């Protein structure tokens, strides 16, 4: 709102002292709830927020601002380092110190035990948390009661915390349109998993995109994968066999839930004597999460994970300043990344 959007302006609008407005915005004691609500309502209307007051963050200053980053680190996860670049740069720009703690999924509950927490988290210096990758629901529920939290990658619909990630619907729509432009109409989805939020989101986007484009959706063209497959990058033989069977029955293209699933599917097709992309096309998702030894360069979609990391810090910073704001989901649009794994639908010819 330009120069008018300041505390003096708000004080005049509400007929309050500027100091009262300042204390209400910073959630300091001594303010009636009715007054605090009036101030926060006007601040939201004006798009005004208060930056939390942060003191020196040198390691020896117990009053410094610390933000925790809890990384659920499965053996197959390579993406957290890219998030960390954005997290670190944004934190440095805001004069905050990051406390990073890595935990395997089956040990996630340990962060609720004080003697196993980082010291800054245990002694109360950590003011907020960024959660990276998928954490158990009960752990997230408990952490979000104790700290303002922002989740990267995994969305928790039943929990009270902010979320930063990529737009799955946008990505699957771009992939579907790309495949349709190559003549594909019978398109399957490989890697639907109910426990993993990004898989659910991408599958929902697949169904929506197919419906929008008036393309058929057949339950037999959806291949499920268990959570362990993604955690340990292990493809069940029955899932590979089902995809091969449906491809031989007429499915000419597949959207894989992520890059690993796409690479695994390509290898399964090749082992069964199907050529990619001559006989069947395959797309991935999240180009930045490419596997170390790819079988082929997948056609995919992606976004800067560094940008997502930086956005998570900004989101957490905003939550510290305005804890009463509604919970937010920040979604980054993705870009199509053409690869070698998609080609003209068999039986069709380019104009």
pLDDT in tens, 249-274: 999 999 999 999 999 999 999 999 99
pLDDT value at position 170? 96
What distance in Å separates the CA atoms of residue 263 and residue 290, rounded to the nearest whole number?
Answer: 9
Tell me whether strands 162-166 and 149-152 are parallel, antiparallel or unpaired.
parallel
Contacts of 122 (CB under 8 A, 6+ apart): 114, 115
Q: Mean per-residue pLDDT for 192-202?
A: 96
Which of 38-52, 81-95, 115-129, 146-160 is least confident? 38-52
Per-residue pLDDT tens digits for 59-109: 333 344 899 999 987 554 555 567 888 999 899 888 899 999 999 888 999
Q: What is the DSSP string of 33-44?
A: HHHHHHHHHHHH
Determine contact, residues 166/175, Cβ cutoff 8 Å: no
Closest by CA to 301, choosing from 286, 288, 289, 283, is 286
Task: Output the pTM of the full model.
Answer: 0.79
pLDDT value at position 55? 42
By three-state DSSP, how is residue 332 classified? strand
By three-state DSSP, how is residue 129 classified? strand
Sole residue written with tokens 């905050």: 96
Q: What is the DSSP letter of 299?
A: B
* For residue 186, pLDDT beyond 80: yes
Q: Which helix (H) or strand (E) holds 269?
A: helix 259-271
* For residue 135, pLDDT beyond 60: yes
φ/ψ (deg, to 5) at 38: -65, -45
pLDDT value at position 272? 98
Determine contact, residues 230/264, Cβ cutoff 8 Å: no
């Amino acid at each position: 709102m330009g120069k008018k959007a300041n505390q003096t302006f708000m004080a005049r609008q509400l007929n309050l002292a500027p100091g009262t407005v300042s204390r209400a915005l910073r959630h300091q004691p001594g303010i009636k709830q009715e007054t605090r609500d009036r101030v926060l309502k006007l601040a939201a209307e004006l798009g005004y927020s208060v930056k939390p007051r942060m003191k020196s963050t040198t390691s020896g200053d117990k009053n410094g601002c610390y933000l925790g980053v809890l990384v659920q680190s499965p053996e197959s996860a390579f993406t957290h380092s890219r998030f960390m670049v954005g997290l670190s740069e944004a934190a440095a720009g805001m004069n905050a110190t990051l406390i990073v703690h890595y935990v395997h999924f089956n040990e996630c509950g340990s962060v609720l035990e004080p003697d196993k927490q980082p010291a800054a988290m245990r002694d109360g210096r950590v003011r907020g948390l960024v959660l990276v990758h998928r954490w158990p629901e009960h752990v997230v529920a408990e952490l979000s009661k104790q700290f303002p939290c922002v989740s990267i990658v995994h969305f928790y619909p039943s929990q009270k915390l902010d979320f930063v990630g990529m737009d799955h619907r946008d990505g699957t729509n771009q992939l579907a349109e790309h495949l349709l432009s190559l003549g594909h109409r019978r398109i399957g989805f490989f890697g639907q998993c109910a426990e993993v939020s990004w898989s659910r989101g991408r599958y929902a986007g697949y169904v929506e995109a197919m419906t929008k484009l008036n393309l058929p959706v057949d339950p037999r063209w959806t291949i499920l994968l268990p959570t362990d497959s993604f955690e340990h990058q292990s493809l069940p033989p029955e899932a590979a066999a089902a995809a091969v069977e449906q491809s031989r029955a007429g499915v000419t293209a597949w959207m894989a839930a992520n890059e690993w699933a796409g690479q695994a599917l390509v290898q399964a097709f090749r082992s069964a004597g199907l050529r990619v992309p001559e006989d069947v096309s395959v797309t991935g998702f999240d180009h930045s999460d490419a596997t170390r030894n790819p079988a082929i360069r997948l056609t995919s979609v992606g976004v800067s994970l560094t940008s997502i990391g930086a956005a998570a810090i900004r989101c957490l910073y905003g939550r510290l300043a305005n804890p009463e704001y509604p919970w937010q989901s920040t979604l980054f649009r993705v870009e199509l990344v053409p690869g070698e794994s998609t080609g003209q639908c068999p039986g069709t010819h380019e104009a």
